[in-house]
């Protein structure tokens, strides 16, 4: 099998892996980088040369996995897109929102090539989609060759899958992003219990050590405690969260805590637009498919309001009483509602900012975590320097599995080769060292951007 990682850098960027398996040309995911802009945010599609793509296998609907799908489909119109039923439901809303954001960035930041695709391009995707049920294989043929594809539950986010590709006597398992523990709104990953030849694995948490006393459950309790204490002292709480998945999970955590009287009952709760819109989709998915538990009555129970506001002065005026803001983006990317609220509340010691997921260190969220109370922090997009007075903290309730769990599950499948993708250099190194030590017969490949690799 020939592989090329089209993500331009060794990190969590625009996930896209090109694979030649028999006579099939396949892309695993087609993402966009949250850290870069313009054409630079796309995978290095130019490396495909004249390759005609047959199949695009989508693991899940986070933008780092689907953000460039309409762009590549416009140029590879023969390709078929395989995606789970739940991902198929949320895909248009997430991509349409991406177009809106790109249009804003074109106007505000002068990125001329934005939007990279249109609403019509997203609509045109529909005719290429082959929806997949978990555990139900699909056989695809080309010339005299055939390939079998099966999607498995990957936890992580609604609709997320790990994908098994079988060709002749070979099997390749692409993990996508994976979480084994159950979330409040979603069942954890269910990987096949069989041997596979090659595993292509995410490595997001490879350099993250979970402190023994900080289980996901105890971290959830600590988050609830921080919210309760902040509101009690008259402050507001900002929880930056990905609009798709994380935001709904946090709302469910708040709802459960309120039912147990662990949180104040009447604190106003604000969400941002995309996350709120997705509540409708999650409700539909919960009714139709198993494994998802999120109904839209939560908006009434929690009296959720949609947040609107840009600059710190206006937002400060809007905050009339202690409130909870569950807003995107999770990494406080510039000009998002979470970024704007952070700039408005950070200079008051009564407030708190609670990070609940991975923050790339080059994003404002990642940068902020290197600072301490008393330091000054520049909100570049607003040309505004704020003195940090608010409490800020990280809660380890990540949507990604701990590195040890992924390693254990990889070894259970006795692969001949493991390919490392979707992680920083340090994170990949941890997996590389552990795999070599625990099972020296496994060949480990650390993919370099845009370099061909024969596995």
In terms of phi and psi (left: phi > 0; alpha: psi -120 to 50; beta: otherwise), the region of 201 is beta
Kindly tell me which residue out of 8, 10, 62, 391 binds Zn ion, with binding defined by CB under 5 A: 62
Contact region for Zn ion (CB under 5 A) — 62-70, 110-118, 219-227, 427-435? 62-70
**Based on CB atoms, which residue is closest to Zn ion, 64 or 446?**
64
Q: Does 5 bind Zn ion (CB under 5 A)?
A: no
**Based on CB atoms, which residue is closest to Zn ion, 358 or 445?**
358
Strand partners, 240: 327
Our measurement of the distance from residue 209's CA atom to the centroid of its chain's CA atoms, rounded to an integer in Å, reads 20
Window 128-187: residues binding Zn ion (CB under 5 A): 177
Task: Count the Cβ atoms, other than its own, within 10 Å of residue 443.
Answer: 14
Q: How far is the CB of 204 from Zn ion (least distance, A)?
A: 7
Report the alpha-carbon distance of residue 70 to residue 77 in Å, rounded: 10
**Based on CB atoms, which residue is closest to Zn ion, 88 or 258?**
88
Window 398-437: residues binding Zn ion (CB under 5 A): none
**Based on CB atoms, which residue is closest to Zn ion, 16 or 224?**
16
Residues in CB range of 311: below 8 A, 6 or more apart = 340, 343, 382, 384
Q: How far is the CB of 257 from Zn ion (least distance, A)?
A: 25
Q: How far is the CB of 65 from Zn ion (least distance, A)?
A: 6
**Based on CB atoms, which residue is closest to Zn ion, 62 or 391?**
62
284 burial via Cβ count (<10 Å: 0-12, 13-18, 19+)? middle
> Nearest CA to 349 among 374, 368, 383?
374
Contact region for Zn ion (CB under 5 A) — 54-62, 67-75, 183-191, 383-391? 54-62
> Residue count at the site for Zn ion (CB under 5 A)?
3
Q: How far is the CB of 64 from Zn ion (least distance, A)?
A: 4
Report the alpha-carbon distance of residue 282 to residue 411 in Å, rounded: 34
C-alpha to C-alpha distances, 365 to 185, 211, 231, 334, 357, nearest whole angstrom = 25, 21, 22, 9, 10
C-alpha to C-alpha distances, 252 to 183, 304, 406, nearest whole angstrom = 10, 12, 26
Window 64-83: residues binding Zn ion (CB under 5 A): 64
**Could you list the residues that contact Zn ion (CB under 5 A)?**
62, 64, 177
């Amino acid at each position: 099998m020939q592989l090329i990682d089209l993500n331009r850098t060794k990190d969590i960027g625009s996930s896209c892996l090109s694979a030649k398996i028999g006579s099939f040309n396949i892309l695993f995911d087609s993402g966009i980088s949250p850290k870069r802009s313009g054409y630079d945010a796309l995978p290095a599609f130019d490396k495909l040369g004249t390759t005609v793509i047959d199949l695009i296998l989508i693991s899940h609907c986070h933008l780092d996995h689907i953000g460039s799908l309409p762009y590549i489909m416009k140029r590879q119109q023969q390709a078929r897109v395989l995606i789970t039923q739940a991902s198929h439901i949320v895909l248009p809303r997430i991509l349409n929102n991406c177009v809106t954001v790109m249009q804003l960035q074109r106007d505000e930041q002068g990125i001329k090539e934005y939007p990279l695709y249109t609403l019509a391009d997203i609509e045109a995707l529909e005719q290429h989609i082959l929806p997949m049920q978990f555990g139900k294989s699909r056989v695809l043929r080309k010339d005299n060759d055939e390939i079998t594809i099966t999607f498995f539950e990957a936890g992580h986010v609604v609709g997320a899958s790990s994908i098994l590709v079988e060709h002749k006597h070979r099997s390749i398992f692409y993990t996508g992003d994976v979480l084994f523990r159950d979330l409040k709104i979603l069942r954890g990953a269910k990987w096949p219990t069989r041997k596979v030849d090659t595993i292509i694995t995410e490595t997001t948490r490879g350099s993250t050590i979970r402190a023994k006393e900080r289980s996901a459950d105890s971290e959830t309790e600590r988050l609830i405690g921080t919210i309760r204490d902040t509101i009690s002292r008259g402050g507001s709480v900002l929880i930056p969260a990905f609009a798709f998945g994380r935001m709904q999970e946090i709302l469910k955590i708040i709802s459960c805590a309120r039912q147990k009287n662990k949180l104040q009952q009447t604190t106003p709760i604000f969400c941002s637009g995309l996350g709120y819109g997705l509540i409708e989709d999650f409700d539909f998915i919960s009714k139709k498919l198993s494994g998802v538990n999120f109904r839209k009555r939560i908006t009434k129970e929690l009296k959720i309001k949609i947040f609107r506001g840009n600059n710190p002065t206006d937002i400060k005026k809007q905050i009339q009483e202690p409130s909870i803001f569950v807003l995107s983006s999770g990494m406080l990317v510039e000009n998002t509602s979470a970024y704007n609220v952070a700039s408005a509340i950070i200079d008051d010691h009564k407030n708190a900012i609670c990070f609940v997921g991975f923050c790339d260190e080059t994003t404002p969220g990642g940068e902020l975590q290197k600072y301490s109370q008393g330091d000054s922090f520049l909100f570049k997009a607003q040309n505004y320097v704020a003195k940090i007075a608010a409490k800020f903290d990280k809660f380890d309730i990540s949507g990604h599995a701990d590195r040890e769990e992924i390693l254990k599950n990889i070894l259970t499948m006795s692969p001949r080769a493991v390919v490392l993708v979707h992680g920083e250099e340090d994170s990949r190194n941890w997996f590389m060292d552990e795999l070599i030590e625990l099972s020296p017969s496994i060949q480990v490949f650390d993919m370099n951007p845009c370099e061909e690799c024969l596995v």
